[in-house]
Amino acid sequence: MFKRDTLLSEFIPECKDWVFNKQVVEVFPDMIQRSIPGYNHLIFMIGVLAKYCVQEKSQVYDLGCSVGTVSIEIQKNITVKSCKIIAIDNSPAMVECCRSYIKQHSNSDVLVEIYENDIRKVSIQNASLVVLNFTLQFLHPDDRQELINNIWKGLNPQGVLVLSEKFHYVDKDLNTLLTNMHDNFKRDNGYSDLEIHQKRCMLEKVMLTDTFETHVQRIQNSGFQNYGLWFQHFNFGSFIALKKGYTSGFF
């Protein structure tokens, strides 16, 4: 179903903005695993978390679901009854692929509803778990706080947000070191310097990363009471945020 990512292996004379089109979808799982350090481990961690935090009769949101990897892992791990996963992406090609990929890999009764929509327009309701796995960075920075506020409002008490992102650092030396380590990770995974350079150029205007501090401020502003980094590999990391406290025995 999917191919190896060689999309940028030839020289492209004009650097265009990155889009999640059909060509990207065809190589997406290979691309994301070879580009995001710790991606597979994070998917596994989200599954483990889902086992503990998804509440009976609640909804789980996978925002920016791409081909549905997060939803499939969550679906596999849910043990409670009458809950539903809502997977949303605004790329028509991603959504089409997600529908067939989830159908192929679905191995439980937990319903997964897949919608083509902009996550800024979605109303979050009765949620016990919301996952933004490397999606927020593709939204305009001015829209990010409102989305996190909406997620907070739509989460049930004891609800959990997972927010994974690429970070940048104000300290130039640290930023360069971690960027170089990430480039090296990509080289080790078979990407050439040309592919790395062309991808960076295409993402420059569409993927605007925040600092760790900006994320913390945004999470605090929205009202989450307990939060922290639960994963980091080079300049990629993931926050876990609890709407209101931790109930022993629940997790």
Binding site residues, ligand GEK, CB under 6 A: 20, 32, 64-66, 69-70, 88-91, 94, 118-120, 133-135, 138-139
Considering the complex, what minimum distance in angstroms separates the CB of residue 94 from ligand GEK?
Answer: 4
Residue sitting closest to ligand GEK (CB):
64
Residue 180 CA from chain centroid, whole number: 22
Nearer to ligand GEK, 24 or 244 (CB): 24
Give the chain's length. 251
Nearer to ligand GEK, 55 or 164 (CB): 164
Considering the complex, what minimum distance in angstroms separates the CB of residue 89 from ligand GEK?
Answer: 4
Confirm if 88 and 64 have CB atoms less than 8 A apart. Answer: yes
Bridge-based pairing of strands 111-116 and 84-89 is parallel
State the Cα angle at 158 between 155 and 162, rounded to 5°.
65
Considering the complex, what minimum distance in angstroms separates the CB of residue 228 from ligand GEK?
Answer: 20
Q: State how far the Cα of 184 lies from the Cα of 72, in Å rounded to an integer.
A: 30
Closest CA to 119 of 134, 101, 100, 106: 134
Structure tokens at 136: 């927020």
Nearer to ligand GEK, 122 or 244 (CB): 122
Considering the complex, what minimum distance in angstroms separates the CB of residue 41 from ligand GEK?
Answer: 12
Confirm if 134 and 231 have CB atoms less than 8 A apart. Answer: no
Query: In this structure, what are the phi and psi dihedrals at residue 54, rounded to the nearest 5 degrees?
Result: -75, 125
Q: State how far the Cα of 182 lies from the Cα of 202, in Å rounded to an integer.
A: 17
Nearer to ligand GEK, 140 or 172 (CB): 140
Nearer to ligand GEK, 34 or 243 (CB): 34
Considering the complex, what minimum distance in angstroms separates the CB of residue 222 from ligand GEK?
Answer: 18
Q: State how far the Cα of 53 lies from the Cα of 61, in Å rounded to an integer.
A: 13
Nearer to ligand GEK, 15 or 24 (CB): 24
Considering the complex, what minimum distance in angstroms separates the CB of residue 25 from ligand GEK?
Answer: 8
